[in-house]
Structure 1
Amino acid sequence: MRVIDVFNGDADGICALHQLRLAEPCAEAELVTGVKRDIALLGRVRAGKGDRVTVLDISLDKNREDVRRLLDNGAHVRYFDHHFAGEIPQHAALEAHIDTAPDVCTSLLVSAYLQHRYRAWAVVAAFGDNMFDAALAAARPLALTAAELKQLERLGTLLNYNGYGVTVEDLHVHPADLYRALSPYTDPLAFVAESPTYRLLADGYAADMALAGAQPLLQADDATAVIMLPDAAWARRVSGVFGNALARQYPARAHALITALADGCYRVSVRAPLNTKTGADELCMRFPTGGGRKAAAGINALPADMLDRFIDAFRAQYG
């Protein structure tokens, strides 16, 4: 029997897997992951009768055919996610834990599944997914100090930051290696205090955010803002977390960060206003390669000739 762990390379996917494997150690598990937007991960998985596949923080809708393939081949599939799922297949070998509510992330689902044994890691993930109210609510039983909460918030931001990029070469740390760096730590505060990986991410984040903050706004009013970022590794890394920071700074405003790609297309990150947390997934799914969740979504490769149409649709949605 093979054990295969398939997980999004962002804070939520990594922290979800970390909680599960703290509770259910499995040193021989094969890891399948990638950059945050590389969500069609099940296409890489070959599994059959008796194999166990755990899937974390990638849309079932985007992996539907591969879920069916794995089930038809005799694999058992355990699926945790909070993205748009569409119709969930009915199969005895599919164990689905899916909740698309805007204040739920995959790590919070896993935390509940484990009866909150490793709650602090779910708090980290919720901060990373820009779900501050959910993170604070989940943290309440931990009785953390304000300084400790700030450290968990910072860690979530850094883990999420590392997931953004077009390829893993854009990242500071491959997501599988980042998971391995976390895996010895039951307490995220110990990881913050001791890990050189944490310091690497903190330094990279500070440098990239300084560059992002110097970029001009393409358009801005009280309801919407559009920021264009250049074709550079730092811009690809920072797009999501910069969008999250802007969303917190201007909670009544929607934000679209548009990053130029080498092939002439654009990568788009959309953040709905934090006051409403809705509509981002519907907007992005109108365009090729678009998807996500209600509060935060994106388009992997927007054709250049659709850029103006996207900006018009974005402003119409939130203006």
Structure 2
Amino acid sequence: MKHFDVFNGDADGICALHQLRLEKPLRSSLITGVKRDVELLARVPVSSDISVTVLDISLDVNRTALLALLQHGVKVEYFDHHFSGAIPAHPNLRPYIDTTPETCTSLLVDRHLGGQHRLWAIVGAYGDNLLHAAGTLAQSRTLQPEQVEQLRELGESINYNAYGDTEADLLIPPARLYEKLHRYSDPFTFVTNEPITQALRDARRQDMELAQRLRPDAALACGAIYVLPNEPWARRVRGAFGNFLATSFPDRAHAVLSEDVQGIYTVSVRAPLANPYGAVDLCRRFASGGGREAAAGIGRLPHDRLREFTLAFEEAFVNSSQVQTISTQTARPSTQ
């Protein structure tokens, strides 16, 4: 029987799958892509002689493909923390789904495996900007502060690599990055032995320096909206910059948009870390929108709907940070 591993190409998806396959080695065909490639289950051929593991993509977005597989007798295990809608009750489906804001797929797999490969769960959680959850998990291991920082840097670098309109924007395709990473049970050895980790760190820092020079296109009492230029670096840094803003200003919401040659925006939204709700409801108001409570996105936002999005953003987060003012919103984050 052929097996398919279907996973988001960001740090959470990669580290979740890595934990599973360290614990349960299995030859499989990989299906993944850039961060916004979330309708991945439709790429699995519908056949009764396969099995599937799904990680870190919304069940709701992939519902039609999932039902088709289940109806053909395919056994599916599903790990995810994004908006799911109603979870089908089917004997062939084993769902491990938790949509609360302070979790991610890597943490769900860590829970499922009883912490057998926890260092990788910490990497995935840091990549998903779950700083508190990752730090709490790190305390369960005897790690030095510099080791925790190394895991954080690795998670953020892997996550950075997933952002782009196509794999041509990335430094390395996510499937290849997973294959390199999967050779290592220990993340510290991976960092030491694989040059790609330093390349990702250097590129992320360079792209972040460019992003931090920008000022918001809309400075609101509840948060800020940044529109990045039509450049590969801008598409790559969209998620990392959004996480940086969220961490720097935890009482405010942020949206980071990058533009393609057709004038279509890809949108990353971060709810305030102090009140991590509302991002997915906002993004689901627009076609191709989805995600989770704390962080969500829109795959294709037409240029002429930018004002509509701005108004919806303000409405979604107006109650999240009543004490903020426009003057404080325009303050620039430190580049340290």
User: For this structure pair, what is the TM-score category when the shorter chain's length is used for normalisation?
Assistant: over 0.9
Match of 2:212 in 1: 213
SS at match of 2:86: coil
Summarize the alignment of residues 157-306 of structure 1 with structure 2, pairs less than 5 Å apart.
157-306=156-305
- The separation in 1 between residues aligned to 2:259 and 2:47, in whole angstroms, is 40
- The separation in 2 between residues aligned to 1:181 and 1:202, in whole angstroms, is 16
- The separation in 2 between residues aligned to 1:235 and 1:138, in whole angstroms, is 32
- The separation in 1 between residues aligned to 2:185 and 2:256, in whole angstroms, is 35
Match of 1:118 in 2: 117
Shift of 1:239: 0.4
SS at match of 2:95: strand
Determine if the alignment matches structure 1 residue 5 to structure 2 residue 8: no
- The separation in 2 between residues aligned to 1:200 and 1:29, in whole angstroms, is 28
Post-superposition CA distance 1:100-134 (Å, at most 9, x none): 00001001011111111000100111111011111
Post-superposition CA distance 1:137-163 (Å, at most 9, x none): 111111211111011110110010000
Structure 1 segments (4+ residues) deviating >3 Å: none
- The separation in 2 between residues aligned to 1:262 and 1:289, in whole angstroms, is 18
Shift of 1:297: 0.5
- The separation in 2 between residues aligned to 1:125 and 1:300, in whole angstroms, is 22
Match of 1:61 in 2: 60
- Give 1:282's aligned amino acid: D
Normalised by the length of structure 1, the TM-score is: 0.98
- Give 1:148's aligned amino acid: Q
Shift of 1:45: 0.5
Match of 1:154 in 2: 153
Match of 2:103 in 1: 104
Shift of 1:19: 0.4
- The separation in 1 between residues aligned to 2:114 and 2:4, in whole angstroms, is 23
Is the contact between residue 106 and residue 125 of structure 2 (CA under 8 Å) also seen in structure 1? yes
- The separation in 1 between residues aligned to 2:310 and 2:235, in whole angstroms, is 19
Is the contact between residue 16 and residue 107 of structure 1 (CA under 8 Å) also seen in structure 2? yes
- The separation in 2 between residues aligned to 1:16 and 1:209, in whole angstroms, is 26
- Give 1:34's aligned amino acid: G
Is the contact between residue 19 and residue 117 of structure 2 (CA under 8 Å) also seen in structure 1? yes
Q: Structure 1: where are the runs of 5+ without partners?
A: none
- The separation in 2 between residues aligned to 1:217 and 1:110, in whole angstroms, is 37
Match of 1:70 in 2: 69
Shift of 1:187: 1.1
Shift of 1:50: 3.5
- The separation in 2 between residues aligned to 1:170 and 1:261, in whole angstroms, is 12
Is the contact between residue 181 and residue 197 of structure 1 (CA under 8 Å) also seen in structure 2? no
- The separation in 2 between residues aligned to 1:277 and 1:143, in whole angstroms, is 29
Q: Structure 2: where are the runs of 5+ without partners?
A: 319-336
SS at match of 1:61: coil
- Point out the structure with the larger helix share: 1
Between stretches 281-290 and 220-229, larger displacement belongs to 220-229
Task: Count the aligned residue pairs.
Answer: 318
Q: Percent identity?
A: 50
- The separation in 1 between residues aligned to 2:220 and 2:153, in whole angstroms, is 29
Is the contact between residue 220 and residue 314 of structure 2 (CA under 8 Å) also seen in structure 1? no
Summarize the alignment of residues 133-152 of structure 1 with structure 2, pairs less than 5 Å apart.
133-152=132-151
Is the contact between residue 46 and residue 68 of structure 2 (CA under 8 Å) also seen in structure 1? no
Match of 2:18 in 1: 18
- The separation in 2 between residues aligned to 1:107 and 1:18, in whole angstroms, is 9
- The separation in 2 between residues aligned to 1:47 and 1:110, in whole angstroms, is 26
- The separation in 1 between residues aligned to 2:244 and 2:254, in whole angstroms, is 10
- The separation in 1 between residues aligned to 2:261 and 2:75, in whole angstroms, is 40
Summarize the alignment of residues 32-51 of structure 1 with structure 2, pairs less than 5 Å apart.
32-51=31-50
Superposition CA RMSD, Å: 1.0
Normalised by the length of structure 2, the TM-score is: 0.93
- The separation in 2 between residues aligned to 1:13 and 1:193, in whole angstroms, is 22
Shift of 1:223: 2.4
